[in-house]
Structure 1
Amino acid sequence: MESTRTGRRAGPVRHRIRWLAVHGFVRGASKLLARRGDPQGRLIADPAVRADPVAFTEELRARGPIVRAAAVHMTVDHKIANDLLRSDDFHVIAMGSNLPKPLQWVANRTRTGLLHPLEPPSMLSVEPPQHTRYRKLVSSVFTTRAVAALKDRVQETAETLLDQLAGAGTVDVVERYCAQLPVAIIGDILGVPDEARPRVLEFGELAAPSLDIGLTWSQYRTVYRGIEGFNDWLSAHLEQLRRTPGDDLMSQLIAASDDGAQLTQQELLATAGLVLAAGFETTVNLLGNGIRLLLDQPEHLGTLAARPELWPTAVEEILRLDPPVQLTARIAKVDTEIDGHLVRAGEGVILYVAGANRDPKVFADPHRFDLERENAGKHLSFSGGRHFCLGAALARAEGEVGLRTFFERFPDAKLAGDGSRRETRVLRGWSSLPIELGSRAAVSARP
């Protein structure tokens, strides 16, 4: 695999050593810990936790506001999670940074140089002043006004995709709709040509487990195949836009970087890559999770048809109940006492966002899908503090327009099978979801 830092290809031995240090050791240890009931071990190695994370988070809640696991602390408490996301006493985690010191040394020595969402200079793994510099650059072009102007484009794209499904009978709605809508939108705004979008989507699917730790060797190889392909494509894409810029936001991002932002090429690649990947990967999950939740509780569809003004709250409830990103983590910079529980400097805390979103101290009847919940938007599904998701407004718009338009067009849609979940823990979504569209299809409202 080509290294964008060293220019040398990382060979199979280097990758095998890296996998052993970053994933293999953790995976083996987690299996042993899971047998003993340790929550951290279960999170990584117990397939029942991935299948039913709600039951797991409720077990954690019953054990107290913050739970000590083998090597980290864990919380599903909304206030604690919210506070830690905003605390200057905690920082984000980079891949391998909380491993035992010898393994950290190996992980650092075997970095591939390829872009990775949990390795610097990704915005997900750095803090100020680097994070401030990167975020300021993205914010300068990814403005609220720019995002608001996209809503008509989201509507037009949704209707075009649904036109193509008319008369199709039973379809995999993830493949045919949930994945296609966000990749088309983010492709438009970031200058990705139509012919490249299937490849970008493929890279995203291959690399989706990259946020997880404890990958199998097979998963690790698949992830890095996706990351390598994305690196190569993105480097060429940025160079093409630099030579022939358009009016898209990616061209503006390059111009802003070249015009005094003083980002290195690697920093620009990492920033552009994260904006592109995050712009469609989590939204695919939001749409798929939303369609499944609404089909499982079809009484809400009747209410939404009669009262479409409730769609924004419906989207917030979907984000709260089945968030595309299930958890995040922070590391203590100093010894900190949390609710009488000591977290020492260097120790990690897993913030189980999906559990915090169901905290009964914040949300009344927290497991109920409530279309009139006044504080539905108080969920933590977009993180918080300085790492709050820059694309939150766009994701909400795509969720609202994408779901409303789908059910307006196919009011008789119903499940045609169980579907299958992605084999990921940090990201949660459907890899396939068969839907029978029904015989009653509304005609597109477009002229």
Structure 2
Amino acid sequence: MSRFRHRLRWLVLHGIVRGLSTVGARRGDPQARLIADPAVRADPAAFADEMRARGPVVRSRTALMTFDHAVANEVLRSDDFHVMSLGAGLPAVLQRINEKTSTGLLHPIEPPSLLSIEPPDHTRCRKMVSSVFTTRAVAALHDRVQDTADQLLDRLEGRSGTVDVVDAYCAQLPVAVISDILGVPEADRQQILKFGELAAPSLDIGLSWKQYQSVHEGLVEFNEWLIHHLDELRRNPGDDLMSQLIQASAQAEEGAQLSQRELLATAGLVLAAGFETTVNLLGNGIRMLLQTPGHLETLAARPELWPTAVEEILRLDSPVQMSARFARRDVDIAGTRIRRGELIILHLAGANRDPKVFTDPHRFDIERENAGKHLSFSGGRHFCLGAALARTEGGVGLRTFFERYPGAQLAGAAQRRDTRVLRGWSTLPITLGSARTALA
């Protein structure tokens, strides 16, 4: 693609939105503030409280928004709404430009990604993936997660001074597990980390030209690597789940099989979603627990609370902050008329702090009875396929870290990732303190 067409595509998908949002944010438009206001990015909970006070559905200039748990839950499960894809909802002239400048690259929010398709294709693809990513298969990964966590923490023993726990642990654990699932050779795993970092902003709109270029370069490299990797798994299948998915699709009845592009999109989504959400969960959890040493004392005395603690971390600082749906037809939601084709942004992080559902919603409570009612894994037919694995990695990863390093402390300023849909830490400096042995 020529530089002109490349720049034109950025302008249509991001540049115009970025410019209008900057102006709209100054005028107080809710959606524009969500995109362009740095204060909203820094404190999404305060923004959600402000918006929630306006009612269950908030109308902005070009979309509706909800921070209400009941409304978000209803929309996620309703057949009256469908998922969006990159560039959807653009005016007709911009839509044509978007189509003519398409790169043809796989993208997490473009078909055939499971995030951007609906039945019958979604049903067919999800059924095939679910036949391999079974509850039993995920449960079998528990020991692998534990072994990986132990090995990573072994490497940190004796480290003095400040350690970036995101780089040394939070990122390394999920990339090792996802690599096992996808049959990725150990020599390629640093590439996977790089791809994850470059592609993380791809879920956002209103990217700067520099961000867009970085995402594009990452997607080009990732597409090339993924095509080669799947070809290698066909020639030399292993006992990994991706090899099993390729074989299951090849053996399926006509009409149930996944195309090459669907297999690529599925592998890409499993890699990106499985890595990005879990690294954020681990980083967010370590930070929150280091800020509440009383909780760590409770968890040390009552380790059976770890699953609830993980749910509460997911609720309070959701790795995925928002989702969106388009209305298929005119529909009434919570007293608001939503017209066919209108977009509603579901602020999952805000719904997770809805005081109508969660008592004292801003409090970090590792004994909260309904912590698991959060919407951090979405809902309905698009409920996250990797939720069970993320919970396993979160529980094992956090518990093992604090059992090994009970004296860990925050050390200096941490840095948030420069993304809006995904929320986590890019750097989190800590001091480890003395290590306990893995068998202690």
Q: TM-score, normalised by structure 1?
A: 0.96
Match of 2:63 in 1: 72
* Distance in 1 of aligned mates of 2:273 and 2:177: 12
1:90-169 counterparts in 2 under 5 A?
90-169=81-160
Match of 2:334 in 1: 339
> Cα offset for 1:74?
0.4
1:400-411 counterparts in 2 under 5 A?
400-411=395-406
1:315 aligns with 2:310: yes
Match of 1:7 in 2: none
1:348 aligns with 2:348: no
Q: What is the root-mean-square deviation of aligned Cα atoms in Å?
A: 0.9
Match of 1:377 in 2: 372
Q: Which residue of the other structure, out of 427, 436, 439, is the alignment partner of 1:442?
A: 436
Q: What CA deviation, in whole Å up to 9, does each residue of 1:120-177 have, x standing for no partner?
A: 1111001000111111111011000000011111111000000000111221000000
> Cα offset for 1:265?
1.2
Q: Which residue of the other structure, out of 347, 353, 357, is the alignment partner of 1:358?
A: 353
* Distance in 2 of aligned mates of 1:95 and 1:18: 11
> Cα offset for 1:312?
0.3
> Cα offset for 1:437?
0.5
Q: 4+ residue runs of structure 1 moved beyond 6 angstroms?
A: none
Q: Which residue of the other structure, out of 33, 42, 53, is the alignment partner of 2:33?
A: 42
* Distance in 1 of aligned mates of 2:204 and 2:165: 25
Match of 1:269 in 2: 264
> What amino acid is the match of 1:22?
L
* Distance in 2 of aligned mates of 1:383 and 1:417: 34
1:191 aligns with 2:166: no
> Cα offset for 1:285?
0.3
1:222-237 counterparts in 2 under 5 A?
222-237=214-229
* Distance in 2 of aligned mates of 1:390 and 1:56: 29
> Cα offset for 1:105?
1.8
- The size of the alignment, in residue pairs, is 436
Structure 2 residue matching 1:418: 3-state secondary structure: coil
* Distance in 2 of aligned mates of 1:167 and 1:328: 42
1:216 aligns with 2:208: yes
Q: Percent identity?
A: 71
Q: Which residue of the other structure, out of 153, 157, 176, is the alignment partner of 2:168?
A: 176
> Cα offset for 1:253?
1.0
In structure 1, the gaps of 5 or more residues are 1-9
Q: What CA deviation, in whole Å up to 9, does each residue of 1:244-279 have, x standing for no partner?
A: 101110101111122223222111111111112211
* Distance in 2 of aligned mates of 1:116 and 1:434: 32
> What amino acid is the match of 2:176?
A
Q: TM-score, normalised by structure 2?
A: 0.98
Match of 2:275 in 1: 280
Match of 1:85 in 2: 76
* Distance in 2 of aligned mates of 1:98 and 1:428: 25
Identify which range, 98-107 or 153-162, moves more after superposition: 98-107
In structure 2, the gaps of 5 or more residues are none
* Distance in 2 of aligned mates of 1:142 and 1:83: 27
> What amino acid is the match of 1:325?
V
